[in-house]
Amino acid sequence: MKIFCGRANPTTGSVEWLEEDEHYDYHQEIARSSYADMLHDKDRNRKYYQGVRAAVGRVKARGQKALVLDIGTGTGLLSMMAVTAGADFCYAIEVFRPMADAAVKIVEKNGFSDKIKVINKHSTEVTVGPDGDMPCRANILITELFDTELIGEGALPSYEHAHRHLVQEDCEAVPHRATVYAQLVESRRMWSWNKLFPIRVQTSLGEQVIVPPSELERCPGAPSVYDIQLNQVSPSDFTILSDVLPMFSVDFSKQVSSSAACYSRQFEPLASGQAQVVLSWWDIEMDPEGKIKCTMAPFWAHSDPQELQWRDHWMQCVYFLPQEEPVVQGSALCLVAYHDDYCVWYSLQRTSPKKNGRVHPARPVCDCQAHLLWNRPRFGEINDQHRTDQYVQALRMVLNPDSVCLCVSDGSLLSMLAHYLGAEQVLTIESSEASHRLMKKIFKANHLEDKINVIVKRPELLTSTDLEGKKVSLLLGEPFFTTSLLPWHNLYFWYVRTALDQHLGPGAVVMPQAASLHAVVVEFRDLWRIRSPCGNCEGFDVHIMDDMIKHALDFRESKEAEPHPLWEYPCRSLSEPQQILTFDFRQPVPPQSVRAEGAIDLKRPGRSHGAVLWMEYHLTPDSTISTGLLKSAEDKEDCCWNPHCKQAVYFFSTILDPRAPPGGPQSVSYAVEFQPHTGDITMDFTLKYPG
């Protein structure tokens, strides 16, 4: 049986559904999953083990059999911990079939098949009774159903159902309790991920300012949390306005409700400023006394920063207030947290909601289109004034008073720059209705609705009538397309340029005129863990999981690089950056493949975890925009990456391979090929050792 899977197609700028093997999507989920990261999270594993031992001990002390329900068992690790701690029997629930199959094998290999039953169902489908999946209710509930937001993976409904149908009243629970914390801050950098700032354009007639429409100003923003590695945000990028506030707790040993709720905490601001952002995280206490605690607190709020555990499966949350609000030091306010069954959001109020009688607000939803079209990094990119200045300087070099400009990028402000810099006629192609509506609002707010012509169609369908019979003298692109996942997916601009060849006038200029693919070999401080085999975890053999991930990585897409925002993941370069391929946008896409082979010499000692790849766009011969490395790093410095873009990481298969020769590789050979019929880039890297 075949299934359909979505893949970005750079030749069309769209996501297309391809027929794949029935196991294909499962393998991708496994290969891209956080299972390896969780198994490497020693703090999490150790605290869970301590909590499980304590819970089993309390049940045994009451003279009862310890019957465990483990929801979301994954590898079966927590169930094996429970049996080792003395549990009489475990029911391990896992809804994802390939993972459930792996758990059965791991449990068997570790010798626990007689005391652990793996049930391949959603927990809400599990039955209890003589003919059910479980003969009776459990008296110990173990779960790991949490995401960065705590409740985003459906923890509340799952707990609610389990208490009603699967576990005994007053059961033991591991974890026993979770508490969500919040801290109010002012941060221009983080606020730039949520709102459109005024953008300044220096022209021959003076300064022009692109202002955001009032709809964008009033919009509460996207409803989803922005989860990031908050420890990588510099303290200089935000001002703390409040103490760390415990907003609400959930006791998992008692009946849990998934109903909407709100919680208010009064506080006095530590400083005056503009309240814009709520930083949030949580901790879990594995025991009723709260002595065994696992926390996601960032370094400045951690009780022992030296013991800070890196993890990628649980990070920290950034929430944006609906509007920025002035606060005065010492003048009491209320921070209010709301949640439904899956989401959390915040508001700032002068008095408690219980006192002012306000109705519980609905989850914020974008009504301006911008947050639907632009993700958080894209907001930051558009608000980057230095980046805008680079495009302005390049445009000055290629624009003429009689220029007919055609802009091709999703939701881009390039057309406005071209108009302000004196182009005779400016047109922009918006292939989606959402981007069309958004750009019309922005043009209207800046009185340009009659100055810039918006064409709503796919670029390859453009006709001479759309261009009012004129030829394009300047084709512009950032390039940026919302369907792009990997850096080179924006090569869709090249395909657009090729499709529009008949509409380009003699001597027409294309900006950017070219692009290049670059690579550097790096040693990650921590990110390597997500692709590193675990072997043994807390004394349990999980090699089967390692083999499963390795098998998953043998599938086609998994052999490719994967996108990561590397400003969040420190790494050190072991080589000099190297240009791998070039793409000349002044010419149409060639019919034949473009291939490059070579070697990257390693200049610095260290563990070669992978190669990082990115695109650079050459606007003019003297102006280049990098989506990756922003400056060369010294020997001991971390690399400095473009914070608005995801870079592509190709993890070497020999990460922490015990069979690797001592001393490390001398170089990394590569074979990289651009395939014009698919628009994709295939690659292979091989570590070369001495001798």
Residue 9's Cβ-side half-sphere holds a number of Cα atoms within 13 Å equal to: 12
Written as six digits, the tokens of 426 are 């400016």
Q: Long-range contacts made by residues 634-638, C-beta under 8 angstroms, separation at least 24?
A: 635/604, 636/572, 637/572, 638/525, 638/570, 638/571, 638/572
User: Which residues face 325 on adjacent strands?
Assistant: 275
Q: Is residue 492 within 8 Å of 479, Cβ to Cβ?
A: yes
Backbone dihedral angles phi then psi of residue 671, each to the nearest 5 degrees: -135, 115
What residue has token string 């509506």? Answer: 437
CB atoms within 10 A of CB 353: 18
Question: Is 70 exceeded by the pLDDT of residue 519?
Answer: yes
The confidence band for 3, taking pLDDT boundaries of 50, 70 and 90, is very low
User: Which residues face 304 on adjacent strands?
Assistant: none
Identify the active-site residue in 144, 160, 172, 186.
144
Q: Fold for domain 34-174?
A: Rossmann fold (3.40.50)
Identify the active-site residue in 108, 153, 424, 560.
153
| 126-136 residues labelled b (16+ CB within 10 A) or e (exposed) | bebeeeeebee
Burial tier of 169 (Cβ tally within 10 Å: 0-12, 13-18, 19+): exposed
Output the pLDDT for position 580: 98
Instruction: Say which residue, 633 or 84, is predicted with more confidence.
Output: 84
Q: Is residue 322 within 8 Å of 347, Cβ to Cβ?
A: yes
Residue type, 160: E
Q: Catalytic residue at 560?
A: no
Which residues are CB-contacts of 510 (< 8 A; sequence separation ≥ 6)? 474, 475, 497, 504, 585, 586
Q: Using one digit for the tens of pLDDT, what is the confidence trace for 445-457?
A: 999 999 999 999 9
What 3-state class would DSSP assign to 235?
Answer: helix
Q: Do domains 34-174 and 384-511 have the same CATH topology?
A: yes
Which residues are CB-contacts of 324 (< 8 A; sequence separation ≥ 6)? 191, 274, 275, 276
Output the pLDDT for position 556: 47
Which residues are CB-contacts of 60 (< 8 A; sequence separation ≥ 6)? 66, 86
Question: Is 50 exceeded by the pLDDT of residue 557?
Answer: no
CATH, domain range 514-688 = 2.70.160.11
Output the pLDDT for position 222: 85
Q: Using one digit for the tens of pLDDT, what is the confidence trace for 397-430?
A: 999 999 999 999 999 999 999 999 999 999 999 9
64-73, 169-178, 356-365: which has the minimum mean pLDDT? 356-365
CA-CA distance, 10 to 481, in Å (whole number)? 10
What 3-state class would DSSP assign to 283?
Answer: strand
Q: What is the pTM of this model?
A: 0.94
Q: What is the mean pLDDT of residues 127-151?
A: 97
Question: Is 80 exceeded by the pLDDT of residue 22?
Answer: no
Q: Is residue 585 within 8 Å of 497, Cβ to Cβ?
A: yes
Q: Using one digit for the tens of pLDDT, what is the confidence trace for 255-297?
A: 999 999 999 999 999 999 999 999 999 999 999 999 999 999 9
Q: Does domain 384-511 have CATH number 3.40.50.300?
A: no
Q: Does domain 178-372 have CATH number 3.20.20.10?
A: no
Q: Give the angle subtended at the CA of 116 by the CAs of 111 and 118, to the nearest 5°.
A: 115
Helix (H) or strand (E) holding 277: strand 273-285
Beta-strand relationship, 404-408 and 226-228: unpaired
Q: What is the mean pLDDT of residues 526-540?
A: 92
Q: Using one digit for the tens of pLDDT, what is the confidence trace for 634-669?
A: 777 899 999 999 999 999 977 655 556 666 899 999
User: Which residues face 129 on adjacent strands?
Assistant: none
Output the pLDDT for position 664: 80
Output the pLDDT for position 162: 98
Q: What is the mean pLDDT of residues 624-629?
A: 97
Burial tier of 164 (Cβ tally within 10 Å: 0-12, 13-18, 19+): exposed
Which residues are CB-contacts of 68 (< 8 A; sequence separation ≥ 6)? 56, 79, 82, 87, 89, 90, 91, 138, 140, 141, 142
Helix (H) or strand (E) holding 196: none
The confidence band for 307, taking pLDDT boundaries of 50, 70 and 90, is confident
Percentage above 70 pLDDT, the chain: 91
CB atoms within 10 A of CB 286: 26
Q: Using one digit for the tens of pLDDT, what is the confidence trace for 24-47?
A: 556 666 666 667 889 999 999 999
Question: Is 60 exceeded by the pLDDT of residue 474?
Answer: yes
How far from 125 is each of 119, 132, 140, 189, 281, CA to CA, in Å? 10, 10, 19, 45, 31
Backbone dihedral angles phi then psi of residue 88, each to the nearest 5 degrees: -80, -35
Q: What is the mean pLDDT of residues 661-690?
A: 90
What 3-state class would DSSP assign to 325?
Answer: strand
Q: Catalytic residue at 153?
A: yes
Domain extent listing, the chain:
3-32, 34-174, 178-372, 384-511, 514-688
Query: Left, alpha or beta for 615 (phi > 0: left; psi -120 to 50: alpha)?
Result: beta
Q: Is residue 265 within 8 Å of 334, Cβ to Cβ?
A: yes
Output the pLDDT for position 29: 65
